[in-house]
Structure formats: C-alpha cells, structure tokens
Amino acid sequence: MKNIITALCNSTVNDKLKEINEFNIIANDIQYQDGIFELIENRKEIDYLILSEFLPGEYEIKKLIEKIKEKNNNIKIILILENKKEELENYLYAKGIFKIFYNNKIEINDIINLIKNNYSENEKIIQELENLKNILIKNNININNGENLISKKEIEENEKTKNKILEKIKLKLKRKNKINTKINLNKKVISILGTGGVGKSMATINIANLLKENNYNILIVDFDILNNSLHTLLGVNKYPEKIKNRIKNNDLISNQINIKDLIIKINKNIDLISGMNLLFDSKYKISSSKVKNILEELKENYDYIIIDNSAECFFEYTKNIIINSDINIFLFESNLIEIKKAKRLLEIYNKEWNIEKDKINLLINKYNKHSVKDKIIKNIFNEYKILGKINFNEKYNLLINKNYKQNKLVKKEIKKDYEKIFNI
C-alpha cells in the first residue's frame, strides 16, 4: 500500500487516486504550502507527494522542495510545472525530486502508472546497471577483446569476494568508456545530430569558427528543413537575392535550381546554405538518395562541410547524411529527460536505420553543476565514444538575440570549451 498526499489546489486527482486499491490517500487535497508541513510533521510514513508549482504560500518552488526534503527526505515528490523550465528541472532533479510533469502534457493515468511502477528515471538507470553487473557475474561475460573479465574461481567465492568482483567490473567499464578529450577533425564532412533544442545550430557555428581560425574554407549546411535557424543566428537572409527573386516570380521549376545557387557568403572563410527546403519541397523534390551526390559536389570547393541536421527521425535524407558523413557528432544534455530522448533517438539510428554505434560520437552540451554525473553518463552510453562536454554559458542568448557575428568577446569565452575537445 502506497501512502500518498496531493497538494494541487484541485481535488480531481485526489478523488481519482482514492479509487485505486493499492493507494492510501492520507488526506483531502492540500490547498496551501503550510498544509504540507502540518501533515508531514505528524505523518512520517508518506511515500508520495503530488505537488503543483502554483500551490499558494511564502516559498518559491526551489525553496519549498528543499523545506519538504528537510522534513522528510524519503518522500517522493511528483511536481507539476506549468511549462518546461530547463534550469529549474536540472536543479530539482539534482535535489532528488522523483518526477516532473507539465500541465498541458499530463494525464491522471500517467501519475497512476508512475506510482504503480515505483521507479524514478534515476532509479531505473541504477537498476539497469545492477542488472548488468549481475549478468556479467553470472555468465562470465567477455567484454575486453577476448580477456575473461571474471574467473570461475572468483565467481564461486563468498559474498566478500563478490563485492571485490563488482569493483573490478566498475574499473573495467571505467577504463573501457574513458572520455576522449580530443577529436582530430582531419576529414571533410562533419554532421551535427541530436534532439530538438539541444544546441545543434550553435555548436555548428562554434565548430565552423574554430576551423576558420586555421584559414580553412568552410561550408555550413542547414539541413534542419522544418526548423532552420542558422541564417537567423548569423544575421543573414535565408535565401540569396537571386533565389528570392525567383521565388517572387514563381520561377523555381522552369529554371532548375543548382545547389550552388543557394550559397550565401558569411565571411572570407565561411559560406552558408540555409534554403535546402527548396530542394525537398513538394513542387521541386529531389530524392533523399541523392544526398551523397550533393555532398560530393559541394566538397570540391571546401575543406570542411558542417551539417546541422533535423531532430526528426522520419526523414530519410537524415539517414543518408549520417551514412555519408566522415564524422557524426550527437549532442545531448545531461539531465534525465534529455538522456531518455537521446537514448530513444540513438536506438532508432542503430536498430531501424542500421547505423553502427561506432559511427556516432557523443558530446554533452549545456553541462552545469546540476547535470547528471559523468560516471552515470559513461555507464548509460557505454557503447558509444564520448568526446567530452561543453559547459552551459548564460551568454548564449546574447549571441542569439544580438547577432552572432557582432559578439566577438562572448565567442572567445565559448571557444575555450571547444578547443579542449577538438584538436584543430
């Protein structure tokens, strides 16, 4: 029986939970913050608190969570936010909050299923790791180029020795998944991948600027056809003037577009193609299988091509870009929600698109003090090469809002993180 209280200023969820036999709803829905403290001070056996961000009271939500945890650190808090707040979520997950939902994306059944399953995202990860360890011990799995990880004699020994074996497994995994601090960009086509909002466009520009300083000629291609934003970041129009005139005159089909017609000059070393949507539009469509031909044609005039890809996994051309790129860099944020999204997208690449895992390099983006720790990240993504991490910088919004080209001092600050990872 799970003991639950709700503090939502709305009795609907409370009433619904009372219908579940496995749940013991301790009180009616709490209407104010102090009501939570009054209840948990007298009742220590509470398992779950379902809490609204807007519960009336003197504390803002961070402080309220801290106060509740001080009173009862074992209580599992399910928080309902009005909308996504990345920094707040990272902070709260670091404080041990159980789960965060959003008002416009939450059903009562989601809460019921979560409590019935009795696992937070972090607990699931820990359980997966424990299961892995047990399988390794039971089956003497060989994960190190033919060398036995554990001997039969070790397996047969007592519990004390078993703990030593677990430490041995941790050490082996740590060595196997050691973060690589440098990547040598000595190849032509670099593809930037990841889920939506992870910072692919900014990473694309930062890598291009790093290469530019070595006097390379670089072409940036915005292949995020649904949500292209590179032209905005770089402070230019999406299409060159001659293409804009052809769009105005409805003259795209009769006079076929050449891929090179879409090139916009950013500076001496960097060019941009931001109008790839014209080549995949319903009126003037090219096959995704021609991606290879497009890249081969563009490579003739550039030292590097950097491609900002779509987060969507239903575009066949994204698959062909990954296959035909020399280096694929997959960005993800180090919090439990974004890790889950990244795992799902990587599984699609591997299982549905048959892209080998060693074809993808991972890069942690927007890293901060509340992020999931490196050790856990390495265990979750133990089959992938992890390049390192790019720290969160509060001045990214300044670059976006004030035009990337004009903020040299901010770019200099950000460049240091990329220099640690990319050997240019």
Asked whether residue 169 falls in the same domain as residue 47, the answer is no
Nearest C-alpha neighbor of 327 from the set 348, 309, 312: 309
Residues 329 and 350 in one domain: yes
Parts of the chain with a pLDDT under 50: 120-122, 141-152, 154-155, 158-159, 162, 173-181, 283-284, 406, 409
Instruction: Give the pLDDT score at 189.
Output: 93
pLDDT at residue 186, rounded to an integer: 55
Contact 315, 345 (CB under 8 A): no
**Is pTM beyond 0.85 here?**
no
Give how many domains the chain has, as a whole number.
3
In a shared domain, residues 262 and 236: yes
Question: CATH number, domain at 196?
Answer: 3.40.50.300
Same domain, 159 and 134: yes
Q: Which residues constitute the domain of residue 147?
A: 122-176
Asked whether residue 181 is domain-assigned, the answer is no
List, for residues 242-296, the tens digit of each pLDDT value: 787 777 766 665 556 778 888 999 888 999 998 887 776 554 455 666 788 888 8
- CA angle 209-210-211, nearest 5°? 90
pLDDT tens, 118-133?
Answer: 654 445 555 555 555 5
Both 264 and 394 in one domain: the answer is yes
Q: Is residue 184 one of the residues assigned to a domain?
A: no
The reply to whether 272 and 211 lie within a common domain is yes
| Residues 341 and 196 reside in one and the same domain | yes
Domain membership of residue 8 (yes or no) is yes
Spatial CA neighbour of 289 closest among 315, 256, 312: 315
Strand-pairing partners, residue 273, are 221, 263
360 lies in the same domain as 316: yes
Alpha carbon 382 to its chain centroid, in Å, reads: 16
Same domain, 26 and 105: yes
| Distance set, CA 79 to CA 48, 89, 128, 295, 310 (Å) | 11, 10, 24, 47, 31
CATH of the domain at 9: 3.40.50.2300
What is the pLDDT, as a whole number, of residue 272?
93
Verify that 195 and 292 share a domain, yes or no.
yes
Q: Give 78's contacts (C-beta < 8 A, 6+ positions apart).
A: 48, 49, 50, 51, 98, 99, 100, 101, 111, 114, 115
CA atoms within 13 A on the CB side of 159: 0
Q: Rounded to an integer, what is the distance from CA 298 to the centroid of its chain?
A: 30
Backbone angles phi, psi at 38, to 5 degrees: -60, -40
pLDDT of residue 179: 46
pLDDT of residue 7: 93
pLDDT of residue 411: 60
Instruction: Say how far residue 29 (Cα) sits from the centre of its chain.
Output: 35
